[in-house]
Amino acid sequence: MLINYLKIAWKVLLRHPFYTFITLFGISLTLTVLMVLTSFLDHLFGSHYPENKRFRTLYIANMLQTDSANTSMSSGPASFRFLEKYAKSLKTPENVAIVSNFSFSNTYVNGKRIKINTKYTDASFWKVADFEFLEGKPYNEQNIKNGDYVAVITDDLRDQYFEKGTLALGKFIDIENINYRVIGVVKGSPPTRLYTYGDVYFPYTAPKSNYQNKGIRGSYISMVLAKTIEDIPAIQSEFDNNISRIPKEEIRDASHYTVLTVKALRYFDHFLDTFARDDSQKVFFYSIAGLILVMIMGLPAINLVNVNVSRILERASEIGVRKAFGAPAKALLWQFIIENIFITVVGGLFAIIFSFVIISMINSSGWIAYADLTINFPVFVISIFICLIFGFLSGVLPAFRMSKLKIVDALKA
């Protein structure tokens, strides 16, 4: 029976090219937007280079200080000392890295200024992040202990500072009037990877790192790598226990704030916590996101419902004949739903092709440096699921209406 329904659907597509074009255009355009959006969200929050292990990484990126009455607050990243004491001491993780939020420095080539993003990290950073080394290797604990003036730079900075096509390993780069020896060159990462993106990476003992700040607030975040996903709750519990033991004198930190809130969160949870700290704000955030999704899918679906009603009305006589020969309403209902899902899947195939083209254009445009938007397996599965839902939603109302049509009215049509 399913094969017969699909054959009928194919014949319907060929019967009226104009209706077919309108239907497929609406489906393809809507699904293309959704697929590109899904790919972009996956690019932002998924596990991709150089944070390939993001799915089992926790981020300690923000601390909130409030007074006892909760009338004023202050938030921001932690100091290196604070993270070294309360994050590095964790026993459950596989590794714990400390890295600064990016800052800016200047370097000059032939009198031309190059503005660069700089990061200060510990040696563990290179074990938590999976950078591809094109030349050399990362600095290690010994380099940090010795206070060596070494740096890891990206291939883009190498090509700008040194003659393009030449090796930079072992050469010196002048940044803010300090000469650093290039110890490694990595493939750069997109700026959307906020905590790993940079042009040049220094040991945290390099000048201007402010790692010796004795307060609890500073400019550093911690990336905590779990051995497995199952270990994440245990790590969060251990970290919460560490924070709960901080003396009030340390929390006060020469200010009137006496309450400290700092969490080890997954990347998306950390992102959401930045905008919505309590449950009511998170419900509001998800409500807005759901409303936008409904608008993106709902408005084209309503248009397709109207097109489907017009298309199905032309087949009223067919419905009347089938009903006269005893076809149940349920069979007619599923026939039209399956036909509409089939048409939607055809539109979805066009949407996937269009999405590949658009994503390739975005990746090659330079709009996002080192952009790596893809339609990977999760994105593909989500896209197919959206196709099926979209086909069902835009087909069920017309199908239900036609299945309830009286035989006399159908035969008169």
Establish if 269 belongs to a structural domain: no
Mean pLDDT by 10 residues, the chain (413 residues): 67 70 77 82 90 96 82 87 95 97 89 93 97 96 95 95 90 94 95 93 94 90 96 96 87 75 91 73 72 67 64 66 69 73 80 88 83 75 69 66 62 54
Establish if 220 belongs to a structural domain: yes
Specify whether 176 is located in the same domain as 111: yes
Specify whether 179 is located in the same domain as 291: no
Establish if 80 belongs to a structural domain: yes
Specify whether 41 is located in the same domain as 69: no
Burial of 110 (0-12, 13-18, 19+ CB in 10 A): exposed
Specify whether 234 is located in the same domain as 375: no
Specify whether 300 is located in the same domain as 254: no
- Quote the pLDDT of residue 371: 80
- Quote the pLDDT of residue 375: 75
Establish if 348 belongs to a structural domain: yes
Specify whether 161 is located in the same domain as 221: yes
- Quote the pLDDT of residue 185: 97
- Quote the pLDDT of residue 163: 83
Establish if 56 belongs to a structural domain: no
Final residue before a domain boundary, out of 264, 297, 327: 264
Please provide the DSSP assignment of 282-327 as one string.
HHHHHHHHHHHHHHHHHHHHHHHHHHHHHHHHTTHHHHHHHHHTT-
Specify whether 180 is located in the same domain as 286: no
Establish if 324 belongs to a structural domain: yes
Specify whether 138 is located in the same domain as 257: yes
Specify whether 24 is located in the same domain as 155: no
Q: What is the C-alpha to C-alpha distance for residues 153 and 198, in angstroms, rounded to an integer? A: 8
Report whether 204 contacts 144 (CB < 8 A): yes
Final residue before a domain boundary, out of 215, 234, 264: 264
- Quote the pLDDT of residue 243: 93
Q: How many CA atoms lie within 13 Å of 183's alpha carbon, on the beta-carbon side?
A: 16
Specify whether 252 is located in the same domain as 176: yes
Three-class DSSP category at 386: helix
Q: How many CB atoms lie within 10 A of CB 161?
A: 22
Final residue before a domain boundary, out of 231, 264, 297: 264
Please give the residue range of the domain that contains residue 101: 62-264
Total number of domains constituting the chain: 2
Establish if 275 belongs to a structural domain: no
Q: What is the C-alpha to C-alpha distance for residues 52 and 181, in angstroms, rounded to an integer? A: 28
pTM of the predicted protein model: 0.81
Specify whether 167 is located in the same domain as 257: yes
Axis-axis angle for helices 279-313, 17-45 (nearest 10): 160
Specify whether 199 is located in the same domain as 85: yes
Establish if 273 belongs to a structural domain: no
